[in-house]
Amino acid sequence: MFDSVDSEVPKAIVLGAAAGGGFPQWNCGCPVCSLAWNGDPRVIPRTQSSVAVTGDGATWILLNASPDLGQQIRATPALRPHPSSPRGRHSPLVAVVLTNADVDHIAGLLSLRERQPLRIVALGPVHAALDANPVFEVLARDVVEREIARPGRAFEIATGVSLEIFAVPGKAPLYAEGEDPEIGHESGETAGVMVEAGSTRLAYLPACADLTPSLVKRLARADVVLFDGTLFTDDEMVRAGLGLKTGRRMGHVPISGAGGSLEMVRNLPARRKVYIHINNTNPILIAGSPQRRMLDEAGIEVAHDGMEIEL
């Protein structure tokens, strides 16, 4: 409809590379956040978890809607409204795909409430969480369509982009998990996305409790893998005195250690392997740290806001 915005398409842009809370987190004085608060050049602040994907440069799909979405759109020229739109209102965003219903992935929906036609696409349990919360009714259902995706079924979502949403080991959202949540089930409360654009497949899994053999097989078909890099060490937050929960308890397989993601991800055939959804305590955020060097040596990148990935 409009002149092409960008010749370097298809592509993905990381809008927010941090986990819930962002980096630095508003109330955190942990050693890694302290570096960021002090402006240490070894660290770069990051907003909360989201990626945008386009096949044609004109229409974009949002993968998760973070509480920082307004700031992320303002920082990303490709996502601005087109100035000559006949309606006076316009957005290149045509759909939002949700991988779970955690606050860091859905709160940004509230910033998309100005009667802009959109599709919200997710597995059933994520829609159930939205449906259960009347605040999301600000997204008027006559213009914002809520679409339940069939797990593992690929469909075209925008010009030049098809995608598939599949359940991965996970858990209920933090605010709905109750006393003794089941961790690691594949009920659709936590999902991964396989995006196909051009001749490239990009897998995006910002939360994943376990890399099962069937999941590893699925990821082996991707050319680009963006994987859950929440914590480096399973008990990182417990040891820092910041919480009582391990990464696994939070539904995030840690990077290091036996059964950690590093040993699996490093061996995937993808041409780019990237950790994303990184918690502010994670030392991979520090350029030159021993943990970051381990990733450098394994050929794995650390996502940052604004990172562009050609598809």
Provide the binding-site residues for Mn ion, judged by CB under 5 A. Answer: 19-20, 102, 104
Alpha-carbon distance of 112 to 117, in angstroms, equals: 10
Binding site for ligand MLT (CB under 6 A): 19-20, 102-104, 174, 207, 250-251
Please say which residue, 20 or 254, places its beta carbon nearer to ligand MLT. 20
Q: Which residues of 205-224 are buried (b: 16+ CB within 10 A; e: fewer)?
A: bbbbbbbeeebeebbeebbb
Residue number, 197 or 250, with CB nearest to ligand MLT? 250
Q: Which stretches does DSSP call E strand in 206-271?
A: 224-228
Q: Least Å distance between CB 280 and ligand MLT?
A: 11
Of 27-66, which residues contact Zn ion (CB under 5 A)?
A: 28, 30, 33
Does residue 280 touch Zn ion according to CB under 5 A? yes
CB-based burial of residue 307 (10 Å sphere; 0-12 exposed, 13-18 middle, 19+ buried)? middle
Q: Phi and psi of 262, rounded to 5°?
A: -55, -45
Chosen from Mn ion, Zn ion, ligand MLT, none, partner binding at 103 (C-beta under 5 to 8 Å by type) = ligand MLT
Nearest approach, Cβ of residue 307 and Zn ion (Å): 21
SS3 144: strand
Helices (H) and strands (E) in the chain, counts: 8, 14
Question: Quick one: which segment of 82-90, 126-134, 176-184, 277-285 binds Zn ion (CB under 5 A)?
Answer: 277-285
For ligand MLT, the closer of residues 55 and 251 by Cβ is 251
236: partner contacted, choices ligand MLT, Zn ion, Mn ion, none (Cβ within 5-8 A by kind): none
CB atoms within 10 A of CB 230: 28
